[in-house]
């Protein structure tokens, strides 16, 4: 699989960062976006100040409002926009790297399932793991998982996108990687709420450990590989999202824990939480932390009562 031309759909923070990573790996990159001012700035000044400040972008990146084909497509739009973005690309047949960490409202579908519906001829790959856009764009060391159905193809895509500071580990478990990436956002809300409510570092550490166990049960019940939980897409991403204020979901949870109005920015966990609850119910998996996050988001129960309910659950063996 020869990959020289890469198209990144979505000229926001994450899309621009991934375009930078692909360019650093030696690929020629077209960044597809809708904002003419952003596109013009990328082409002329090689910056995207709206999303990445004064971070200098590679001259291998050009910006365009239209997709005109590529050896590889990277989709970097919010999870709830995936279907519309794929539909707009028309009869897509290229290999597609899906990077959104979320589940579709209404259908409960994973990103690769949406791709299979809208563009059945496209070959899916899923990129996930502990990564913030500002770190990737700045060339700070970042390691992620790239999951695909066929080993040789997945390794070829990983090699094409790997650069001096961006390392991709190939895997087969598309389902598990997608689920871990989507559901960790829900647990990040919970971890942030614990911080916002000043419940202490011990409580947050305990929550992360129990979130890891709950997420593992869900991944396996929904068809994923349990080994995924011990890797970058599982433990790595869960830990990062549940401990860093760079995480939008964590910051949103902190505000909820303080009883404040969260800042107005995308927090995928807010949209994923009710979907996660329905998936858990359908799979017959007990998921008290996901239920607690939904109660908090619905605003009907205060966090102290939610925590009291969790702490009063029947005692069980850990394994």
Catalytic center residues: 184
Q: Do 52 and 33 contact (CB within 8 A), yes or no?
A: no
The answer for residues whose C-beta is within 8 angstroms of residue 181's C-beta and 6 or more apart is: 101, 126, 128, 129, 233, 237
Which stretches does DSSP call E strand in the chain? 5-9, 28-32, 61-64, 72-75, 95-98, 123-128, 142-148, 166-171
Length of the chain: 319
- Alpha helix segments (H runs only) across 119-173: 133-138, 151-161
Give the strand order in the sheet containing 5-9: 61-64, 28-32, 5-9, 72-75, 95-98, 123-128, 142-148, 166-171
Measured in whole angstroms, the distance separating CA 228 from the mean position of its chain's CA atoms is 15
Q: Give the integer Cα–Cα distance in Å for 260 and 83.
A: 33
The answer to whether the beta carbons of residues 275 and 103 sit under 8 Å apart is yes
* Residue 192, both tokens: 């942030």
Tokens of residue 233, six digits? 């897409």
């Amino acid at each position: 699989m020869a990959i020289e031309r890469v198209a990144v759909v979505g000229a926001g923070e994450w899309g621009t960062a991934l375009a930078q990573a692909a360019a650093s790996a030696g690929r020629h990159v077209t960044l597809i976006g809708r904002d003419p001012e952003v596109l013009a700035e990328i082409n002329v000044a090689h910056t995207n100040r709206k999303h990445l400040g004064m971070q200098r972008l590679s001259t291998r990146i050009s910006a365009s409002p239209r997709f005109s084909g590529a050896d590889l497509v990277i989709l970097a739009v919010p999870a709830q926009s995936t279907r519309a973005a794929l539909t707009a690309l028309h009869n897509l047949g290229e290999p597609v790297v899906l990077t959104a960490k979320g589940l579709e409202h209404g259908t409960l579908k994973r990103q690769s399932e949406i791709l299979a519906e809208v563009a059945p001829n496209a070959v899916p790959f899923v990129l996930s793991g502990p990564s913030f856009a500002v770190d990737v764009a700045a060339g700070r060391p970042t390691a992620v998982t790239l999951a695909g159905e066929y080993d040789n193809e997945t390794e070829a895509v990983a090699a094409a996108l790997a650069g001096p500071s961006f390392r991709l580990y190939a895997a087969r478990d598309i389902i598990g990687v997608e689920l871990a990436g989507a559901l960790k956002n829900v647990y990040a809300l919970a971890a942030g709420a614990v911080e916002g409510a000043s419940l202490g570092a011990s409580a947050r550490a305990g929550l992360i450990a129990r979130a890891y166990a709950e997420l593992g049960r869900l991944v396996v019940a929904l068809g994923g590989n349990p080994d995924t939980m011990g890797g970058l897409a599982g433990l790595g991403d869960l830990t990062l999202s549940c401990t860093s204020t760079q995480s939008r979901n964590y910051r949103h949870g902190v505000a909820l824990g303080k009883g404040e109005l969260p800042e107005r920015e995308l927090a995928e966990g807010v949209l994923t939480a009710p979907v996660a609850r329905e998936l858990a119910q359908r799979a017959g998996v007990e998921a008290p932390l996901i239920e607690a996050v939904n109660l908090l988001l619905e605003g009907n129960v205060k966090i102290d009562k939610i925590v009291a309910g969790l702490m009063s659950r029947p005692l069980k063996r850990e394994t």
